Amino acid sequence: MLVDKKTFKNDFKKKLMTLYAEDIDNSSKLHQYLALGSLIKEYSAQKWMNTNNQYAKESRKQVYYFSMEFLIGRLLGSNILNLDIYDICEEGLSELGINLEELQEVENDAGLGNGGLGRLAACFLDSMASLGIPGHGCGIRYDYGLFEQKIVDGYQVEIPDNWLRDGNVWEVRREDKAIVVKFGGEVIQTEKDGKLSFEHINYESVLAVPYDTPIIGYKNNTVNTMRLWRAETIDKDFDLESFSKGQYSKAVEHKYSIESISQVLYPDDTRIDGKILRLKQQYFFVSAGLKSIIRSYKKTGRPIEEIHNYIQVHINDTHPSIAVAEFMRILIDEENLPWDEAWKMTTEVMAYTNHTILAEALEKWSIELFKKLLPRVFMIIDEINERFCKEVFEKYNDLEKVHKMAIIADGSINMAYLAIVGSHSVNGVAKLHTEILKSRELHNFYEFYPEKFNNKTNGITHRRWLMKSNPRLCELITDTIGTKWIEAPEKLIDLIVYSEDENFKNKLHEIKQNNKIRFAEMVKAKYGISIDPNSIFDVQVKRLHAYKRQLLNVFNILNLYYKLKDDPNLDIVPRTFFFGAKAAPGYYLAKRTIKLINTVANLVNNDTTINGKIKVLFLENYSVSLAEKIIPCADVSEQISTTTKEASGTGNMKFMMNGAITIATLDGANVEIHEKVGDKNIVIFGMKKDEVMNYEKNKNYNAAYYYNNDPRIKRIVDSLIDGSLGVPKSEFEDIYKYLLANNDEFFVLKDFDDYVEAQNRINLLYKNQSKWLEMSAVNIAYSGDFSSDNTIKNYAKEIWHVNPVNIKLKKN
């Protein structure tokens, strides 16, 4: 055992004293949290050091997961859980009069990500450490994470997320490991003994300072590292030249312009705007990350020519795809390797995951902008492109094809193509998504490199999303099937035999009810709204995006509302609809949708004639920590994206694991959830992939048809502009136009009827509690296959070719 209760209590009191010269009675919750965090970090320090030493000593192959986003959330609870001292801490603190759960609430979420992609990276880190796989995160230490959302008068207002205001107990600043990253300047080409060499001059240097956070494995001795880079000026605070000339404001400006690189996470995950600052961010962390990896590899004394046998660099979406060119640059310019050898090594090191097929989000950079910022890297991409185009031409003898597949074409650089050409593996994130990539979006590349393409269905860490977020359900599971599922989540399947056991189902019901009651109390305290814990908790929490179709959900609510107005005695189970969603600050339609949800909430919640049968709640500031609270309460999980548009989804898996019933289109990983649980245990509706693709191909969808022929739709859509929602008529005019004049890009009106019908099925199913609980149990039983442990095992075996390392705990 890491520590016993008595020692823990003493250690904690001592920490509080040494850090703040305070005892428990005189310390704030913040100080208690910080003292506890710092103690927990101390408890993991020995393991962290051992892990690093053992990896180096045994020359283990390491994986570096490069990602612009790590949506970590809070670490206190999960670190304590993974160190296997949860009970000791909870009891010990309680004996000191401190509530561990309350202390966890003090921690600011590390919200360094937009949504699914960043959260996936965080789950992967947890799984790699817990499986003993030598895998580390590499990213940016943003001063500000994803904005905090306030709802003012129904509108979203964005507030900077100053997550570091109270300090960050988990990180270690390692100034001694800083790296210089070079921007701008010119390249001079010289020839010596028939060999070309390139000198980069007049560049601007930026200092990248790493901040390391321990990633603690579950009940093992592995502690991996998440290394995030912060941009600083080399001369510390000022541009000394300007300073000494008395140009003080210029001196400070320089500092700010450099620090701006790691200042804030881009909050728009819907479209690329080609801003130079984002390209700077990308090159900044990629260059710093690769240089530091190569530096530590060289310390082992092995030749650079073998590095590809010892490292893997994973490119999380195209954002870090510049790694392909930067790695080449380092091997060629700094390590003097010939092109062909460097290229072979690069492609063996790099692997790329695609996370979206939405054209707006596929990254392209203008050649002009790129060249100016990164002249030498551009030359390398140009050469990669030349050679690749030649290969394509040799194979097909088809210039049009070459043009279509070129990395550089029509004035811009296609980063996805660079990533594909420069990697040995290209994967999608769910079966359907990978199929679409192969057959459509990346079809040409699939034909050219069939061996590179593979699927890795996403997953979620069951430690955070079940053990930590739903402890009572865990207890029930363990009481029922023992503890094996904790190390091997696929063993949750043993629950299947209990899905018809009334005693088990009653307990399952009681746990869900308790979670709901607690949440209702929180809602009452925070929003002053009473919600009925006996109502169906119907939850849609995710980024706000037209393709995710929060609008469809709202339309069903309005339909129900109008039905209740017409017939207040309508026989439905009371339902509470929860929404949580942040809209990109520049995404106009998404912001209007938030206002619409709040307007409908206002209307419905204050209408006493419907007897409180439905309520609508918009949960402000949806975040990892809020997700951990709402997901265990959900009865119904809304996964209603337009088929083909959601690459995978991971919220769907979290809800399933907590026993919610999914109402879903056959999109992303919903398809695989459906495959596992079968028709009877999920409610599927909506257009299938071929239907959507046909409409898109033939351009023959006609939204107006549904408006004109379905009186329910007409009434709902008209209410957007006729004042019946109690707001000025202009408020939702643009949503109205989007649906009719712009022909409803994501088929909300087309799928409406089927969705309403599916919601009716949910209503009926819920009435049969015994059946409902059986479905819930079946979902939990099959959810183990969606643990990210499973996903990571597949990445390790099939992409990275890396093995777990058994870290020995020896005291130095």
What residues line the site for ligand 26V (CB under 6 A)?
A: 114-117, 120, 266, 268-269, 271-272, 317, 355-356, 361, 429, 458, 646-650, 668
Q: Which of 650, 662, 665, 791 is catalytic?
A: 650
Shortest distance, position 538 Cβ to ligand 26V, whole Å? 21
Cα 435 to Cα 354: distance, rounded to the nearest angstrom: 12
420 within 8 A of 452, measured Cβ to Cβ: yes
Q: How many angstroms separate the Cα of 79 from the Cα of each of 96, 625, 673?
A: 21, 15, 29
With CA atoms as reference, report the closest residue to 469 among 316, 265, 278, 660: 660
Based on the residue annotation, tell me whether 654 is a catalytic residue of this protein.
yes
Cα 403 to Cα 421: distance, rounded to the nearest angstrom: 15
Q: Which of 9, 136, 278, 542 is catalytic?
A: 542
Shortest distance, position 325 Cβ to ligand 26V, whole Å? 19
Torsion of CA 426, 672, 505, 91, to 10 degrees: 10
Nearer of residues 160 and 482 to ligand 26V, judged by Cβ: 160
Residue 295: Cβ-neighbour burial (10 angstroms; 0-12, 13-18, 19+): exposed
Residue 768: Cβ-neighbour burial (10 angstroms; 0-12, 13-18, 19+): exposed
- 110-143: string of b/e by CB count within 10 Å (b at 16+)? bbbbbbbbbbbbbbbbbbbbbbbbbbbbbbbbbb
Based on the residue annotation, tell me whether 355 is a catalytic residue of this protein.
yes
Based on the residue annotation, tell me whether 119 is a catalytic residue of this protein.
no
Q: Which of 31, 355, 512, 645 is catalytic?
A: 355
Identify the helix (H) or strand (E) that includes residue 332.
none
**CB neighbours of 809 closer than 8 A, spacing ≥ 6?**
46, 47, 50, 221
Residue carrying the six token digits 């609510």: 557
Q: How many angstroms separate the Cα of 411 from the Cα of each of 279, 384, 407?
A: 16, 16, 11
Q: Please state, as a whole number, how many other Cβ atoms lie within 10 Å of the Cβ of residue 439.
A: 11
Residue 28: Cβ-neighbour burial (10 angstroms; 0-12, 13-18, 19+): exposed
Q: Which of 15, 227, 548, 750 is catalytic?
A: 548
779 within 8 A of 660, measured Cβ to Cβ: yes
Identify the helix (H) or strand (E) that includes residue 338.
none
Q: How many residues comprise the chain?
A: 812
Based on the residue annotation, tell me whether 245 is a catalytic residue of this protein.
no
Residue 427: Cβ-neighbour burial (10 angstroms; 0-12, 13-18, 19+): buried
Shortest distance, position 632 Cβ to ligand 26V, whole Å? 20
Determine the 3-state secondary structure of 521 from DSSP: helix
Q: How many CA atoms lie within 13 A of 535 on its CB side?
A: 20
Shortest distance, position 643 Cβ to ligand 26V, whole Å? 13
Nearer of residues 329 and 433 to ligand 26V, judged by Cβ: 433
Q: Which residue is nearest to ligand 26V (CB)?
A: 116
Nearer of residues 119 and 750 to ligand 26V, judged by Cβ: 119
336 within 8 A of 247, measured Cβ to Cβ: no
Based on the residue annotation, tell me whether 518 is a catalytic residue of this protein.
no
Nearer of residues 260 and 602 to ligand 26V, judged by Cβ: 260
Nearer of residues 91 and 675 to ligand 26V, judged by Cβ: 675
Determine the 3-state secondary structure of 493 from DSSP: helix
Shortest distance, position 542 Cβ to ligand 26V, whole Å? 9
Shortest distance, position 650 Cβ to ligand 26V, whole Å? 5
Nearer of residues 668 and 784 to ligand 26V, judged by Cβ: 668
Shortest distance, position 327 Cβ to ligand 26V, whole Å? 23
Cα 503 to Cα 80: distance, rounded to the nearest angstrom: 32
Q: Indicate the angle between helix axes 550-566 and 748-767, nearest 10 degrees.
A: 60
Q: Which of 654, 676, 750, 791 is catalytic?
A: 654
Nearer of residues 292 and 652 to ligand 26V, judged by Cβ: 652
Nearer of residues 308 and 548 to ligand 26V, judged by Cβ: 548
Shortest distance, position 750 Cβ to ligand 26V, whole Å? 21
Based on the residue annotation, tell me whether 456 is a catalytic residue of this protein.
no
Q: Which of 308, 543, 582, 613 is catalytic?
A: 543
Shortest distance, position 586 Cβ to ligand 26V, whole Å? 11
Shortest distance, position 791 Cβ to ligand 26V, whole Å? 10
With CA atoms as reference, report the closest residue to 12 among 79, 93, 105: 93
The residues annotated with a catalytic role in the active site are 355, 542-543, 548, 650, 654
